[in-house]
A = this chain, B = another copy of it.
Amino acid sequence: MKKLDLFTPLGLIFGLFVVGMAIYFNAGTDAVLLFMQLASVSIVFGGVAAALLVNFSAQELKKFPTVVKEAFRHREYDLRELNDTFVMLAKKARKEGLLALEAQLDDDVNDPFIRKGVRLAVDGIEPEMIQDILMAEVVSMEERHKRGRRIIERAGDFAPAWGMVGTLVALVILLNDLDDPATLGPTMALAMLTTLYGAILANLVFNPIASKLENKTETEVFVNQIMIEGVIGVQSGQNPHILEEKLRAFIRDERKPEYDVRESGVLAHEV
């Protein structure tokens, strides 16, 4: 159900290509090397890393790679299919009783979250308790994602700041020793490089990725809330027609077809 989210690597590569072209048009191929200064790179990356070390605990930082990986993953939700699943479950439950749902649950339902909800319903737990348990899981998932995302968000805050620190360090040294005017220009060029790195890191990498992760979590929370509505509806023996009407309200806007993106019935992060 998870696939590679092509747009993340595509965007990153395209962004670097844009910067590369800008360099090339301004000064030809040779200048590209001028922009690759290990020392400048290390002060920005090092400074951001140091600030993150102070900012987060060991366990939080351990999540960094998985969080980054998540930005390259893509999860699709078929809301129409979801709707159908619940209508089917509601019909079955009204005809054969709630207990009948358990028999073919693994065949009928792919999503473990729905399965868990239905199982709780079959076990005879009251609707309020089911809602409590399922919402606890959603809230906890949301909280956990927020925590992971925050590392990226803070990196996006620290990157331009440390880019400026690098430039200031170089400027202080430069100004302190103005003896040789010939080196003034190139040294100042190097000084500005860290500011450039900080700006690119923040506005191509960290901020867009943090924002993408937030979108993904919002979509997941939204879908989970539909699922909870559905499970409660099935349990309470709600009329399948009304349940369908209610669930469809979440996914359709009949008055604004031009705003509707559900051509194929497959939505991804925009519901």
Contacts and interface: CB of A to CB of B under 8 A. Distances in A.
A113 B252 CA distance: 12
Interface stretch (A14-22, A89-97, A101-109): A14-22
A38 to B, nearest CB: 9
A168 B196 CA distance: 6
Q: Which secondary structure dominates where chain A touches chain B?
A: helix
Interface of A: 5-8, 10-12, 14-15, 17-19, 21-23, 25-27, 31, 34-35, 39, 42-43, 46-47, 49-63, 66, 69-71, 74, 111-113, 116, 120, 125, 129, 132-134, 136-137, 140-141, 143-145, 147-148, 150, 154, 157-158, 161-162, 164-166, 168-178, 184-186, 188-189, 192-193, 195-196, 199-200, 202-205, 207-209, 211-212, 215, 222, 242, 245-246, 249-256, 258-259, 261, 267-271
27 contacts: A6-B58, A7-B54, A11-B55, A15-B47, A18-B43, A21-B42, A21-B46, A23-B169, A34-B173, A35-B172, A51-B207, A54-B212, A55-B212, A57-B74, A63-B270, A116-B254, A120-B245, A132-B246, A133-B246, A140-B253, A141-B256, A144-B270, A154-B211, A161-B202, A172-B193, A175-B185, A176-B185
